[in-house]
Amino acid sequence: MLDIRYHGHSTVQLSIEGHSIIIDPFITGNALATTKLADIQVEYILLTHGHGDHILDAVELAKQNDATIIATHELATYMGWQGVKAIGVNLGGSLKLPFGKVKMTHAFHSSGVVLDDKQQIIYMGMPGGFIIELGGKTVYHAGDTGLFGDMKMLGDRHDIDLAFLPIGDHFTMGPEDAVVAAEWVKADYVVPIHYNTFPPIQQDGDAYVAELAEMDIRGKALKPGEALRLP
């Protein structure tokens, strides 16, 4: 059984057979989050890109669990400088890990750490998503992205059981484009992410899932803290 827990925003935790990973940990800065950071136990932390709402808790969580961060080379290097274990990858690259395999996919977005006090932005490499193979399942986390044609290729090349797709609009694709994305990636099950955390990205997750259902695509709008299990 693959256990999935949605912690809000784009933060997703996957657990199977004694292994656990988390993607884009953003707990302490999310007013909608219901989980305490101290209660999260993981081995690996996957980061799609370098924005604060995706990496805020990465270092603390890595230190708390002696976990390894996986991100693009630039972002992994930045994390390593803060005293945690980190592995740098890049778009199209993959890693074999104790639980299975992780491959970094394209995403169309931006990526950088904003230092407001210095009025400085540190470039953090290209943004991405992840194809994660574990326990006989394939999970696609799109990261922050707009709709792009190569999502069709991902659907053709990978038998995706579960896809996490952003629907917030403004900073990523909105529900209309995310419906097309769901069709293209051909996932058996779709969960919307990256919405309702901030005023500019308010969306109706249930309405999005209802629209998917009209296309015979299964999905669910998980609430922060809610879990899902795939047999």
pTM: 0.98
The Cα–Cα gap between 117 and 120 comes to: 8
DSSP 8-state secondary structure symbol assigned to residue 196:
S
Cβ-proximal residues to 216 (8 Å cutoff; 6+ apart), any chain: none
CATH number of the domain at 40, please.
3.60.15.10
Residue 195 domain boundaries: 2-230
Cβ-proximal residues to 90 (8 Å cutoff; 6+ apart), any chain: 72, 73, 104, 125, 126
> Mind listing the pLDDT tens digit for each residue in 143-159?
999 999 999 999 999 99
Q: What length does the chain have?
A: 231
Q: Is 12 helix (H, G, I), strand (E, B) or coil?
A: strand
pLDDT of residue 230: 86
Whole-number CA gyration radius for the chain: 16
Q: Quick one: 151 exposed, middle or buried, by C-beta within 10 A (0-12, 13-18, 19+)?
A: buried
Average pLDDT over residues 81-91: 98
> Mind listing the pLDDT tens digit for each residue in 31-55?
999 999 999 999 999 999 999 999 9
Considering Cα of 34, then 38, then 44, then 50, what sign does the dihedral take? positive
How many CA atoms lie within 13 Å of 10's alpha carbon, on the beta-carbon side? Answer: 30
Nearest to 38 by CA among 2, 15, 63: 63
Q: How many domains does the chain have?
A: 1
The Cα–Cα gap between 127 and 49 comes to: 5
